[in-house]
Structure 1
Amino acid sequence: MDSNQNLLVIIGPTAVGKTKLSIEMAKRYNGEIISGDSMQIYRGMDIGTAKVTKDEMEGIPHHLIDIKEPAENFSVAEFQLLVRKKINEIAQKGKLPIIVGGTGLYIQSVIYDYQFSDVPGDEVFRQELEERVKVIGNEALHQELIEVDPESAAHIHPNNVRRVIRALEIVKLTGKTMQEYQRTQLPELLYNTALVGLTMEREMLYNRINTRVELMVAEGLLDEVKGLYQQDLRDCQSIQAIGYKEIYAYLDGRVTWSEAVDQLKQNSRRYAKRQLTWFRNKMDVEWFEMTDVNNFPKKIAEISHYVEGKLQVKSNTY
């Protein structure tokens, strides 16, 4: 990795305004955008993941969107590999790479130099778990990880047994969760990174999230999820996403439509809260308050001033 390579990263909770800002930044600094969202990689999952539309892109190239089928799994390791490759490709064109998204662990894996190879393996423990999972099942083993390391469990699908076992192995061998172990490593940024975080007064953010869910419903979320449901896509990573699992419960007849939508709103609000907690605890972020949505030009100016100072770049369109 080139520590002199400029990289702009825009993070924040769902519905805070990352897409709008990222387009503006890409236009100003001749940038291309890399999605930092673990679910926008899936084809056919557009409405529920609030995927950027062609019109919203305003001609700005976007990467790592629609690269997987919903039945396929996608890991942090694969994301890390693909994004680092894209950063190099964009930089070689003389453009500014801009990562935009809300999946903290994925973004963290790209911009920091974390090494897990120095945690030794415990072959006997691993084999014990491999044998036990055949008896108790993937979900039960994943539940064990939730109990000792809920943060890692939230980002590892129950069917990714290898990663579940490795996370349990790290806890057993180090006495620390994966994230606690990371913090002891004092990792360094791999790029010259401007890390921009967007935040908003909680009540306003929650209102925006509720409104976004209602808009998703109006735009045809039910039909989108039905398309996946009718393919009998069920026990896979993509369907665990907020916006899909709630509608599946409705299609299964387990809840009413009203209950499904309410649950979707509630889960989205809770996710936003978890996102903010993650970013504040895990990354050295420069935060910008976006509550005053009517003063967007002023916020653009503030953020641009920070980016230009941090990356030593100049606006090329203003």
Structure 2
Amino acid sequence: MDSKQKLLAIIGPTAVGKTMLSIEMAKRYNGEIISGDSMQIYRGMDIGTAKIKIDEMEGIPHHLIDIKEPYENFSVAEFQLLVRAKIDEIAKKGKLPIIVGGTGLYIQSVIYDYHFSDVPGDEAYRLVLEERVNEIGNEALYQELMEVDPESASQIHPNNVRRVIRALEIFHLTGKTMQEFQSSQQADLLYNTAIVGLTMEREKLYERINHRVDVMIAQGLLEEVEGLYQQGLRDSQSIQAIGYKEIFAYFDGKVTIEEAITNLKQNSRRYAKRQLTWFRNKMDVNWFDMTDLENIAKKIKEISHCVEGKLGVKSNTY
């Protein structure tokens, strides 16, 4: 058996059932859950990020939720450091670390031997790009990134100028896209990792996404976003999240509330499609189709068999 620390990763698109499965796996294998979502770290952004509620945790400890204020920036490098420390902390208690989420780059950065210190920098070029932003605007610089590195651009909001500049800087220095540069470093898994991916027939998944947005609205998403809007957080990294930028446009008077909700549903569906593409292309995943939720017990049994085979763990509750 692999001598590396055991780690279970549960990945997949939004609304596919990751939270439910993670609780079940944590109960079965004496686990603790680490959020692999780049937006659930923010306090006060609960409804729009589909953050798990205390009463839904069933007593399972959850980590890396509510650790930042919405005005603070958060990088994948910081996430990597925090999660690896949590994995060690959980393992020392004799428990199984379980990382759960849909932010592919973040999860990938943890489980592979990827060193952010190896990514080159060019301060002079960065300053040139910052000046270009002042001259031509965020959107035009973003289009430049789209031309040389569309994959990275698809995961960066045009207003997240810092990340747009970083991606262009890496391409300028290495001739490689951000993903090409990263993949050249990450051949080795740091952990004895079982990667469980959840998928679903597209029509069913999109139906669940649309329903989830309706539930979010009913739960008070507008009020949640309005509170952030009144704090003047427009340019914060957190507000680039799906579920927030669309409602901000409503409060700006650019769209009606109906249009904002339609845009939110559409952007969520597109994001789910990008998530699936990312995971299929970037990671060695054991996929499980969750379309037939009525047979969930059978599906959980299949997933458990996979986890036990990969990690050599035994169920302690069944």
Relative to the length of structure 2, the TM-score reads 0.93
Local SS of the residue matching 2:265:
helix
1:281 aligns to 2:312 (yes or no):
no
1:141-199 CA-to-partner distances (Å, cap 9, x unmatched) read 34422332233234456676554433213212332211122333452110000000000
Q: Hey, what does 1:218 align to over in structure 2? A: 218
SS where residue 197 of structure 2 aligns?
strand
Match of 2:66 in 1: 66
**Where does structure 2 lack aligned partners over 5 or more consecutive residues?**
none
Partners of 1:287 and 1:216 in 2: how far apart?
Answer: 28
Distance 1:270 1:120, change over 3 A: closer
Counterpart position of 2:86 = 86
2:27 maps to what in 1? 27
CA distance in 2, matches of 1:159, 1:295: 43
C-alpha contact 1:246 1:261 (8 A) present in aligned 2: yes
Q: Which residue of 1 aligns with 2:18?
A: 18
3-state SS, counterpart of residue 308 of structure 2: helix
Shift of the 225–14 alpha-carbon distance from structure 1 to 2, 3 Å rule, reads: same
Q: Contact conserved, 1:22 with 1:33, CA < 8 A, in 2?
A: yes
1:226-257 deviations in Å (ceiling 9; x for gaps): 11111121111111111111111111111111
Once the 2 structures are TM-superposed, how far is the Cα of residue 46 of structure 1 from its aligned partner?
0.6
Residues in 2 aligned to 1:148 and 1:172: alpha-carbon distance in whole angstroms: 10
Q: Which region of structure 1 is more displaced relative to structure 2, 213-222 or 158-167?
A: 158-167
User: Partner of 1:45: helix, strand, or coil?
Assistant: coil
- Distance in 2 between residues matched to 1:286 and 1:251, nearest whole Å: 42
Q: CA RMSD in A?
A: 2.0
- For residues 243 and 123 of structure 2, the distance between their equivalents in structure 1, rounded to whole angstroms, comes to 39
Q: Percent identity?
A: 81
Q: Distance in 1 between matches of 2:35 and 2:313?
A: 22
Q: Is the contact between residue 157 and residue 237 of structure 1 (CA under 8 Å) also seen in structure 2?
A: no
Residue 11 of structure 1 and its aligned partner are, at CA, apart by: 0.1
In structure 1, what is the equivalent of residue 199 of structure 2? 199
C-alpha separation in 2, matches of 1:79 and 1:178: 17
Q: Determine the C-alpha separation between the residues in 1 that align with 2:303 and 2:139.
A: 43
Change (3 A) 1:55 1:120: closer
Shift of 1:119: 5.7
State the distance in 2 between where 1:250 and 1:281 align.
Answer: 35
Q: Which residue of 2 aligns with 1:257?
A: 257
* Distance change in 2, residues 1:306/1:245 (3 Å): same
Distance 1:3 1:80, change over 3 A: farther
Output one character per residue of 1:116-154: Cα deviation in whole Å (capped at 9) or x when no partner. 555655565344334444544555434422332233234
Number of the residue aligned with 1:236: 236
What runs of 5+ residues in structure 1 fail to find an aligned partner? none
